[in-house]
Amino acid sequence: MRPNRLRTIASTLVSTHHIYYKWRGHESCANRVPARIGPFSFPKHNAGAFLPKRALSRVFAVIAIASLLAMGKLWARSQEGVPGAQGPTRQKQSPLQRESSCVGSSVQKITFPGVNETDQQMLRSMIPTQEGKPLGREQLQESLRILFATGRFSELSAECEPSANGEVTLSFANAANYFIGLVRVEGGPGHPTESQIVNASKLQLGEPFSAEKIKRALENIKRLLAENEYYRAVVTYSQRKIPETQQVEITFRIHSGDAARVGTITVQRGGLYSVGQLEDIAHLHPGDIVTAQKVSDAIERVRKHLQKRGRWLAQVAIANKTYNPALNTVDYALAIEVGPRVEIRVEGFFVSKGILKRNVPVYEEHALDDDLLNEGRRNLLSYMETRGYSDAVVTLRREADPQAEIMRVIYQIDPGQRHKLVKVEVTGNKYFRVEDLRPLLRVQAASLALPHGTFSQALLRSGVRDVENMYRANGFAQVKVEIQVQDNYRNAKNHLAVTVHIEEGPQTRVGDFQIIGSTQLNDPVFQNLYTGPGQPFSDTRIADDRDIILNYYFDSGFPNAMFEASAIPAAGNSMNVTYNVHEGERFYVNRVLISGREHTRPYVVDHELQTLPGDPLSQGDLLRTQQKLYDLGIFSQVDTAVQNPEGVQTRKNVLVQVQEAKRYTFNYGAGFEFQTGVSTGSSTQPLGKNGVSPLASLDVTRLNFRGRDHTITFGSRVGSLQQRGLISYQAPRWFNNPNWKLSLTGFFDHTLDVSTFTSQRLEGSVQAEQVVSRKVDSTPVGVMNYRFNYRLVKATNVRVSPEQIPLLSLPVRVGEPGFSYLRNHRDNDLET
């Protein structure tokens, strides 16, 4: 007879802040099935509904256990099925011995059915129940809690199977959660685009999949289609689950139907124009196909039309939009408030219209309010001060003329005397040189390029603030900067001299410095901090160090890292600084899952991955992977994410989702070309009648050639005067080596040159490029270029003397080998 087995059921009730567990034991030997810990899942009932029942069950259980323990045996409650009662009939149970054959037995093996072996090892390392150790009830409960918190399972249960040697095999049966993977759109109308539809679904790569999210996605897509006037659209979806990766691919199928058209257009409130005139201005007429962008552009056209005529207070909006299902049309009611005509001008000083538009933001923002007008006043004052009018006063006033429907905005400028800044002097500085401080002041003495210099109170105040911040960042917390402006300097009328006097005060430096709580102190990043023994002390430097340290930890797989800094005054104007780093748990890459490839070979993507299984989970590596894949030029979209980002497991799957660009690109055209000097008869004169030739062109580009990041390009131009053809092959990673690039080019040209001779030219070139050195950030520095060119030129139908044929058109056959070396140390290639 098989030994009795413990059957334990773990169920959960969900509330706002807690998860409740309840356990019960009873004897079961009738069915002779493996002991099972029942489903560990979130029930779909209201969490609070079972709490009273649970509390009542606990009371009865305590009373029953206490009474049975007095007799020395534990009996399970039994109940015969009640005829006609709802729910399943309970079976009569047998007695249970106090010691179970599972609990307390040594665990021989722990398995997770349906989970790959790599993930099984990771899950086994997370739970307190371990192989070779006794099975404990509390450990088993904690194991279930931890496994469920990983987010990988929607249901979880445990089964134990005793073996002949007295050990047990523990199996965690489960129903896996699935996570959002590739999202496709089929049958999109074009506007909105497929990318816009995917974005509207709000399905984020790697997040848990649920029916509620799909429901919201369908609603969002239908709303987007309705905004683009596809009111009859039908949206369905299908899903494909991939058990090996726990990903689900979702495809939305759209039957957009006919787009709604413009019905009637009415104007609810008054305006200057009739409905027909507004339709012409807005480029929106009854019967037009409607899109959200087209309606928005129509409103903007009407608004700009009114603003160009001085109606800066005009308000244009759609007051009502009504869909007519029977006709599949949309009726629009426009609300237009024309407002008065606004005139903006300057009095008291001549300011050109262009300068007025640059300084008054009303023209740029296409709006009129007090904030913009006051900003324009400040800008005009600053403009006057930089022109030498340091005593200028700018006021703002409004004048209304209701009868003429005009509102005037007038900037009154009193320029005062024009000054010339002849001297800028800095005194009292010891720690910084004058050459370091002068650019911060922003005021400049007069020179040949600036006859009156650059001076304004606003510039001076801003410069003083920058100087003080620079000193404080270098440990001078008590620095003071005083400004003295002297007019009529050296008895010269309207000449200004600015003196900047700096009282540096004592400098505070770092005394003792230590970093505690970090296990990564040997990394070079900690040797390049702004704070260190003997270095200037400032809050700015500590803030910079905090950003450096946290960015390093976030980029090294510590997403929960925290930083604290403390400073204690010490002798001699110094501060003892302590950085306390709380690293938190480190996360690693479990697997890298790639999706979306159709024609691209796997190794092409694998070579660009900057994060691999076992590496620390780094956001920087994910961004670099994304950039590298974009640089291949064969993907139109690349997304990277972490699967199950909220799960507690320390090894995460990284998702790389790519969308291949269109492999073929066609460009074609047709036209005419003209050429003078077309001969008549046997004339050899270069001048003659004008000639006309039809011309056709066809260019074809093939990306992702043979599943690699190789490109073939064909270009042609065909006419009666000239025929040209070009074909090229680009292999950026020759032999899968990122330091080699191969280019093959072939060119053919057949040209009738001013009716004097016919030139035929055939060229071919082979070029290999090798990167021999790079910077720390992998930017190429030294590049070797190896090339070989072959050229064959023929000249036929020659009607002039050979000396008159251009040098490059003379008959020749030549091969030209060569190589070159380029060394580039520029920080920015655009700067020469």
How far apart (Å, rounded) are the C-alpha atoms in residues 686 and 304?
55
How far apart (Å, rounded) are the C-alpha atoms in residues 762 and 748?
5
pLDDT tens digits along 203-259: 999 999 999 999 999 999 999 998 888 999 999 999 999 988 899 999 999 998 888
pLDDT of residue 796: 76
Q: What is the mean pLDDT of residues 654-659?
A: 94
pLDDT tens digits along 340-376: 888 899 999 999 999 998 999 988 887 888 899 999 9
pLDDT of residue 313: 83
β partners of residue 394: 413
pLDDT reading at 69 higher than 50: no
pLDDT reading at 684 higher than 70: no
Question: Any idea which residue has 């054959």 for tokens?
Answer: 101
Helices within 323-430 (DSSP H only): 353-359, 362-365, 370-386
pLDDT tens digits along 72-122: 332 333 333 333 333 333 333 333 333 356 888 888 899 999 888 888 888
How far apart (Å, rounded) are the C-alpha atoms in residues 796 and 805?
11
Helix (H) or strand (E) holding 14: strand 11-14
Confidence of residue 8 (pLDDT cuts 50, 70, 90): very low
β partners of residue 248: 180, 241
Ranking 114-128, 264-278, 290-304, 762-776 by mean pLDDT, the lowest is 264-278
CB 608 within 8 A of CB 625: yes
CB 611 within 8 A of CB 175: no
Interior/surface letters 816-828, b for 16+ CB within 10 angstroms, e for the rest: eeeeeeeeeeeee
pLDDT reading at 68 higher than 80: no
pLDDT tens digits along 528-565: 899 999 999 999 999 999 999 999 999 999 999 999 99
CATH topology classification for 261-337: Ubiquitin-like (UB roll) (3.10.20)
pLDDT of residue 813: 86
- CATH homologous superfamily of domain 341-414? membrane protein fhac (3.10.20.310)
How far apart (Å, rounded) are the C-alpha atoms in residues 335 and 271?
9
CATH topology classification for 179-255: Ubiquitin-like (UB roll) (3.10.20)
For residue 541, what are its two tokens? 């430097």
pLDDT of residue 36: 41
Four-point Cα dihedral 83, 84, 86, 87, nearest 10: 40
pLDDT reading at 132 higher than 60: yes
Peptide bond into 192 cis (omega under 30): yes
Helix (H) or strand (E) holding 691: strand 689-702
Chain mean pLDDT for the chain: 82
CB 254 within 8 A of CB 221: yes
Whether 341-414 and 5-77+91-175 are alike in CATH topology: the answer is: yes
Q: What is the CATH number of domain 509-582?
A: 3.10.20.310
How far apart (Å, rounded) are the C-alpha atoms in residues 806 and 329?
67
- For the chain, the first-to-last Cα distance in angstroms comes to 90
pLDDT tens digits along 482-533: 999 998 888 888 899 999 999 999 999 999 999 999 988 888 889 889 999 9
Confidence of residue 804 (pLDDT cuts 50, 70, 90): low
Confidence of residue 713 (pLDDT cuts 50, 70, 90): very high
pLDDT of residue 431: 94
Contacts of 139 (CB under 8 A, 6+ apart): 127, 128, 129
Q: What is the CATH number of domain 5-77+91-175?
A: 3.10.20.310
pLDDT of residue 311: 86
Distances (CA, A) of 171 to 38, 109, 125, 651: 12, 8, 15, 21
CB 625 within 8 A of CB 607: no
pLDDT reading at 664 higher than 80: yes
Q: What is the mean pLDDT of residues 738-761?
A: 83
pLDDT of residue 80: 37
pLDDT of residue 523: 84
Amino acid at 666: F
pLDDT reading at 162 higher than 90: no
Which of 618, 192, 535, 32 is closest to 609 using CA atoms? 618
pLDDT of residue 497: 93
**% of the chain at pLDDT higher than 90:** 43
pTM of the model: 0.73
pLDDT of residue 689: 54
How far apart (Å, rounded) are the C-alpha atoms in residues 110 and 169?
6
Helices within 342-456 (DSSP H only): 353-359, 362-365, 370-386, 434-441
Distances (CA, A) of 45 to 54, 145, 212: 14, 20, 16
Residue 275: φ, ψ to 5°: -60, -40
Helix (H) or strand (E) holding 122: helix 117-126
Confidence of residue 442 (pLDDT cuts 50, 70, 90): confident
How far apart (Å, rounded) are the C-alpha atoms in residues 382 and 457?
8
pLDDT tens digits along 385-439: 888 888 889 999 988 888 778 889 999 999 988 889 999 999 999 999 999 999 8
Q: What is the mean pLDDT of residues 571-588?
A: 92
Confidence of residue 312 (pLDDT cuts 50, 70, 90): confident
Ranking 17-31, 155-169, 331-345 by mean pLDDT, the lowest is 17-31
Q: Which residue has the higher pLDDT, 175 or 691?
A: 175
pLDDT reading at 70 higher than 70: no
pLDDT of residue 7: 38
How far apart (Å, rounded) are the C-alpha atoms in residues 495 and 487?
6
Q: Taking every pair of C-alpha atoms in the chain, what is the biggest distance, in angstroms?
A: 132
- Sketch the domain layout of the chain as residue ranges: 5-77+91-175, 179-255, 261-337, 341-414, 420-503, 509-582, 588-660, 664-823
Helix (H) or strand (E) holding 467: helix 457-472
pLDDT tens digits along 275-300: 888 889 989 899 988 777 888 899 99
Confidence of residue 481 (pLDDT cuts 50, 70, 90): very high
How far apart (Å, rounded) are the C-alpha atoms in residues 296 and 373?
27
How far apart (Å, rounded) are the C-alpha atoms in residues 598 and 636?
13
Helix (H) or strand (E) holding 654: strand 651-660
- CATH homologous superfamily of domain 420-503? membrane protein fhac (3.10.20.310)
pLDDT of residue 829: 67
Ranking 108-122, 621-635, 664-678 by mean pLDDT, the lowest is 664-678
How far apart (Å, rounded) are the C-alpha atoms in residues 812 and 795?
9
pLDDT reading at 774 higher than 80: yes
Q: What is the CATH number of domain 588-660?
A: 3.10.20.310
Which of 421, 404, 248, 265 is closest to 341 using CA atoms? 404
